[in-house]
Structure 1
Amino acid sequence: MITIPYLCARAGRFYFRRRIPGLSTSHMPLMVSLGTTDRSGALKICVQLTARMDRMLDENLHKTLPSTEVAAFFKAELRRCVDAVSQVRMIERMDGSLTAEKTRRNQLETIVLRGMVEDGLREEMAPERLKTLAPNDQITAIEIQSTLFREFLSPAFNREVQARATARSDLSQLDVLHLRWAAVEARMAAHEAAEAVPLHAGDEAKEAAVSLLRSLMQKAAAGITPPAPVPVPTEPEGPAPEVQTPIAMPAPVPPAQARPTLTPGVALIEGRMTGVSILAQINAARAQPQDDSFDGFAESVEIERTYGDDIAGTAVRMTWRIKGNQNTRDQKLTSVALFMYLTGVQRMSEIRQHHLDRFAKLIKQRMPTKYWRREEDRHLTSQETITHATRLGLPCGFAPNTIERHINAIASLIHHARTEGNVGTFVPNLRGLVPEETRAPSEMRAVPTLDDLRTLFSHTLWQGCKSRGRRHVPGKVVLRDHHYWINLLLAYTGARRSEIAGLLVGDLGEEGGIPYVHIRPNHMRGLKTLASTRRVPLHPHVIELGFAEFVSKCRKRNLVALFPEALPKDRRRLAHSTKGGEVLYDKKFADSLDYPLRRSFELSLNGNPRGLSCHGFRHYVNDHLVTLRQEDGTTQVVSEMDRMDLLGHTPLGVNLTTYRRPEQPLGPLYAAVRTLPRLF
């Protein structure tokens, strides 16, 4: 190997020094005086001598590789690349490992290779070529360009190319460049052929690759040349063929990038995007097949899977992975439906930052808080809905916590789509999308006081009304039905409305003289959390009012549900049955209780200006237990652990959540319940 020349100085003069093995038996370095003491001038002369010497050494030490050998290598390399690329693409399609992201990268690699052939080997992609790509594709293309550039210029790649081309080791620098360029063009041609020709037609792919190279040579003849010319491919056997004039053929049009597939059963909406069409699309996505189980055979192993790029199908698959109840899943789908409604985007790969910005702005300022409540509203487009709300003066703009829930749902959707390969490098910027909440958490929901509740329970619903049809008119009729008992139990237990409204007749029990209701999942309704399963002691006032007798009468009627009238209409058939479908938590369970209670609040509290509601009972009980103190004024009467057990909240810490019995002792909880003052 010839060493690199360098400049040396002796006695103020500069010399050109270079060791050339093979030219001298002593291997002494060649040293030539440059006849100057100026370092700058000596450097210029040194560069010129180096270039001249390299040319001389190439002419004298190396034998130029014949053009026929380069052409033969190109043809062999082209065949090798076509076979390799075709095999890889075929396996990807057959074994299910072809994802949308991999397809996109394959297409971009083809474009990058063509750019390297037409623009020359360079680390950075030509700006004019880069501008033709989408913003997301530009980042990936730059990465691919840099990776391929380093590969092509690496010593390992060049050694492999020379090893495949010839057994000779005395190739000139120009010969190495010719071979490397032939390898690069062969790879580019193979990739473009794989994109343009069906993978099962190997011969057609090779012909397409050869035609592509001829078109490149046609461009070279017109003055658009790559850095190093490549001869026309010829057969390696026999005498060198005559140089043929390249056949004039039109340059092939780069194949259009295939759009990602859709979820089975889902079709994109065309024309008007209304609530009806979007909800129908999501319902179609719900019916998509889930993953099949492994059949036990090695050849059936699925390495990768291609998922639909549509937002509806992606959202449904996201909800399958959520550790929550059905209500939480439905909330996510509602947020996704609203996002599609206000932006019009239906594919994950088309979501951009400006869509998120527009979505946040509309739900903050212009979207009515109540939408799609009526059937006719679901047939309107988003613009028609906003215009209609503005014209009627309806309240518009969601609360900050609601906006945050919607934005977080879309962010979760994008994250899930990235795991499926349908989102590239786009990372949503959520900064500034959610407005700051001006209220403290304790101010977001009004907490009724003891005076508020005593005023409420002095209303005719509990103290006597005119008749069943005139519950808000004072009278002597006290109807101890579901309206009477459920609201009273909520105020004395702090339980959730669905927990009390969904009680079974068998959920009333007694232990050690302490009556209690057992809140647990059943065939009519589930519970919000695992910690919601618990036993809640009953307040003495509830027993005095005859709740045990009420339960006994329900048992004699062979009822299963304690309050069948409170069940949603589609579940009232379960009041006499113990069998049902999937157990789900439904926060709207017992919605039929809303109007009578809301009307009672309004009539008893002068219009209910603080907006007290059913959930306020739970806040009242918690507030009472938190603020109740011993005589010293600092020690809590009810411990935090007992309070959380009573309300069905998860205690803090592994010790309290794991190292305890499932059923908590009733004594401390009963003592906590008895601290609640009588309401009338």
Structure 2
Amino acid sequence: MSRIPFTIRIEGRYSFRRRIHFRNIISKPLTLALQTADPGAARERVAILAARFVIVRADVKTMLEGQRNLTGVEIEAIFRRELEQQLGSWLSDAYADAPWSSSVIEEAARHGEAYRQLRLPNPRHDMDAFERAKLDAANRETAENDVTPEWARPLVDQIRDALSDEYVISAPKAIGATTSDANIAAARTHLIRAGASACTRAQRMFDNDVLDAADPMRATTADLGELPPAVAALLAGAEGVAAPVAQTNLPSPAPPTECPFAIYDNRKFSEIIEDVLFELKQDKVWKGDLKQQRRIMQSFAWITGDRELGTYDHRDVARFKNGLNRRPSTFRFGSPEKGAMSRPFEDVISEVAPITPATARNLKTVNRDLSTMSTVAKHLALTSWKPRIHNVLIMDFAGATVAIQQDENAELRPPWKKEELECLFRSPLYLGGGAGKNRLKDECARPHVWHDAAFWAPLIWYYTHACREEICGLEIVDVFDDHPVPHIYIRENLTRGRDGEKAGEKRIARRRKLPLHDEILRLGFLDYVSAIRAEGHTALFPELYLFESKRGGAQFYDRAWRYMVQWITDRMEVEVNDKGKGPDIHSIRALGSSFYEVDGVNEIMRAEIMGHARSGTNAKHYSKRIKTEGLEVVLQERLEFVQRYVPKITLHLDPLPIRLLPMEARSRVGSGRHRRIRSDAGISKKSGARSSGSAFSGSR
């Protein structure tokens, strides 16, 4: 059998085989399987491959012999030429004293970032936030013309398109280098490097050493050293081609120098209020219904004009604080849809009477609003209000808070005196009165004592010194009546929370267990708990949680407390502060704490009773009495501590069977004052008119 040229047999099947002899490739064999054992088929296939091999080898040889890679001198020449042209353009704009000259440094930084993105293997071509904001503005302005301006495209795309093949080819051609595809690709990379370097150096235009230099160009490129003679020779013969520089004086919704944030967010402040509330509640920063926080954020938007987030700066902190101080303490905000906040702030303030010391807002209230906005600003600093410069605080609400002077404590409400509370405990509410709104009146045929929050809450406040909401928001499960020392557990619960979330603790120190005073037990409190449990309620005082608008302590104040205070002030002279405000529910807590202001009181014990944070290393880190002695021992000690210092002012009350009013009538005590009989009572308007008419006639 005759041999077939350029073939070999491998395991009985034919393969095509040739050798390649090019430059650094030393006689490398090329083998391709013909996928046949038939000599006729192999002869036909090998003839086709042999012809194709000759053509490909000729093309490769021609390509290799005609290609010359860029040398180091040529690369430096291309880089230096592009660098000087780009840098010269930036210098011209910076020192032109034109309207855009002050923006050169910022624009150079943006262009530098775009060049650096183009240097990456897979450059991104999407817009940054600043470009998106400008594109939104362009879309609004050009919607009628149906035209998209060139500057509205991403900056990366603008620079990439400016580096066209024609421009890139001109760079190696200008210095006499070959313009093969490989050299063009390499030249494009070196041009991008030069553009990035020019932008970095352009950001030093207004540095003192550059401004003082006779040749700013040389000052910014001094680190590169003098040009080598070979590079200088190539540049001397290079043809001048204008370097592409993306447009920098672009229209913008706001000048870049006026936006201190990393991005320009064109959403209005009012549009992000609900999102911020949700996120801060989700992060456990805020709890509860957030009604107060929402109102503060709405007032900030109202005072500052509810602008786009990107337009805010440090001046708005002072504007907000000034707006707070221009409103009297009796000011009612309303809502953005109705009331004061539905109108422009300046229009509303112009109608407000001048602020006097009597109507000025409490500085603690101003600080509270500033503190709330400080939390908001800290949250937005991660997104819309992220500063352009790292670690720079722009919206510094915390720094605007006012230090409260010690002499301003005169504004605090005075505490109750035990004689004043004893006056309340001697009222018909506790001794026997009418039902419904007549519980502070004793002129009834069958006086009774009714048991609800109006009866128990003041007693518990006095003997435990707990806060208003801590008692009004107790649940049945928070009362431990089967313990050797009956007590209540002050903690977060669902009754004090909303939307299925527990709430109520102001701080962790407020979580505590308080023993029930003997007087509370003697008057039948545990029987009341059993009666409420039998009704199937969760809340200890369910009548305080019938409505969503007013709940807990606010409902108690409206239904009962204001009439209790009226009862006391009608019978005793009660101290008021400089603003005419007397003691409130929280003032009972101040009275309780004052009982322990004597020599020999254990400060740790007082802190545990009051729900205050411990102070000192021993109290904070070493005193663990509940764990070492047990809860029963500690509760008994706390009970003895309270009974030792708190006077008993309810010994005159007799324990009575538990009486419960219908739910809607509970804790509605009504006023203890008697209505005055009008002088014209029983006289109709018509008869009165006739009487006055006849009198008038008689006087004629």
Give the alignment's TM-score, normalised by structure 2: 0.53
Q: CA deviation at 1:489?
A: 1.1
Match of 2:267 in 1: 268
Aligned partner of 2:626: which letter?
Answer: R
Q: CA deviation at 1:494?
A: 0.8
Question: 1:69-218 residue pairs with structure 2 within 5 A?
Answer: 73=76, 75=78, 117-119=90-92, 126=95, 128=97, 132-133=101-102, 199=156, 204-207=161-164
SS at match of 1:650: coil
- Could you tell me how far apart the structure 1 residues matched to 2:531 and 2:412 are? 41
- Could you tell me how far apart the structure 2 residues matched to 1:466 and 1:75 are? 102
The answer to whether the Cα contact below 8 Å between 2:159 and 2:246 also exists between their aligned partners in 1 is no
1:468 and 2:436 matched: yes
Match of 1:363 in 2: 324
Q: CA deviation at 1:448?
A: 0.9
The answer to whether the Cα contact below 8 Å between 1:115 and 1:129 also exists between their aligned partners in 2 is no
Q: For each residue in 1:599-646, what CA deviation from the matched residue of structure 2 results, as whole angstroms up to 9, or x when unmatched?
A: 22123214864421111121111111223xxxxxx323xx11111212
Q: CA deviation at 1:281?
A: 4.3
Q: Structure 2 vs 1, CA of residues 517 and 246 (structure 1 numbering), >3 Å: closer, same or farther?
A: closer
- Could you tell me how far apart the structure 2 residues matched to 1:437 and 1:643 are? 26
Q: CA deviation at 1:435?
A: 6.6
- Could you tell me how far apart the structure 2 residues matched to 1:201 and 1:253 are? 11
Q: CA deviation at 1:486?
A: 1.6
Q: CA deviation at 1:243?
A: 7.7
1:527 and 2:504 matched: yes
Q: CA deviation at 1:407?
A: 2.7
1:480 and 2:437 matched: no
1:601 and 2:565 matched: yes
The one of 462, 465, 468 equivalent to 1:491 is: 462
1:635 and 2:604 matched: no
Q: For each residue in 1:438-459, what CA deviation from the matched residue of structure 2 results, as whole angstroms up to 9, or x when unmatched?
A: 6354862321111221123333
The answer to whether the Cα contact below 8 Å between 2:118 and 2:156 also exists between their aligned partners in 1 is no
- Could you tell me how far apart the structure 2 residues matched to 1:250 and 1:558 are? 78
Q: Which runs of 5+ in 2 are unaligned?
A: 1-70, 128-150, 171-190, 199-214, 219-230, 497-502, 651-700
Q: Structure 2 vs 1, CA of residues 115 and 456 (structure 1 numbering), >3 Å: closer, same or farther?
A: farther
SS at match of 1:626: coil
Question: 1:292-303 residue pairs with structure 2 within 5 A?
Answer: none
1:678 and 2:642 matched: no
1:558 and 2:557 matched: no
The one of 621, 626, 629 equivalent to 1:661 is: 626
Q: CA deviation at 1:422?
A: 3.5
Percent of aligned pairs with the same amino acid: 18
Q: CA deviation at 1:474?
A: 3.3
The one of 590, 610, 619 equivalent to 2:553 is: 590
- Could you tell me how far apart the structure 2 residues matched to 1:434 and 1:669 are? 38
The answer to whether the Cα contact below 8 Å between 2:374 and 2:397 also exists between their aligned partners in 1 is no
1:447 and 2:410 matched: no
SS at match of 2:480: strand
SS at match of 1:535: strand
Q: How many corresponding residue pairs?
A: 456
Q: Structure 2 vs 1, CA of residues 246 and 325 (structure 1 numbering), >3 Å: closer, same or farther?
A: closer
The one of 410, 417, 425 equivalent to 1:457 is: 425
The answer to whether the Cα contact below 8 Å between 2:413 and 2:584 also exists between their aligned partners in 1 is no
Q: Structure 2 vs 1, CA of residues 622 and 454 (structure 1 numbering), >3 Å: closer, same or farther?
A: same
Q: Structure 2 vs 1, CA of residues 649 and 431 (structure 1 numbering), >3 Å: closer, same or farther?
A: closer
Match of 2:519 in 1: 541
1:352 and 2:313 matched: yes
Give the alignment's TM-score, normalised by structure 1: 0.54
Match of 2:479 in 1: 508
Q: CA deviation at 1:251?
A: 8.6
The answer to whether the Cα contact below 8 Å between 2:470 and 2:504 also exists between their aligned partners in 1 is yes
The one of 286, 299, 310 equivalent to 1:338 is: 299
SS at match of 2:407: coil
Question: 1:234-245 residue pairs with structure 2 within 5 A?
Answer: none
The answer to whether the Cα contact below 8 Å between 1:348 and 1:423 also exists between their aligned partners in 2 is no
Q: For each residue in 1:450-485, what CA deviation from the matched residue of structure 2 results, as whole angstroms up to 9, or x when unmatched?
A: 122112333333333333122343342322222111
Q: Structure 2 vs 1, CA of residues 71 and 414 (structure 1 numbering), >3 Å: closer, same or farther?
A: farther
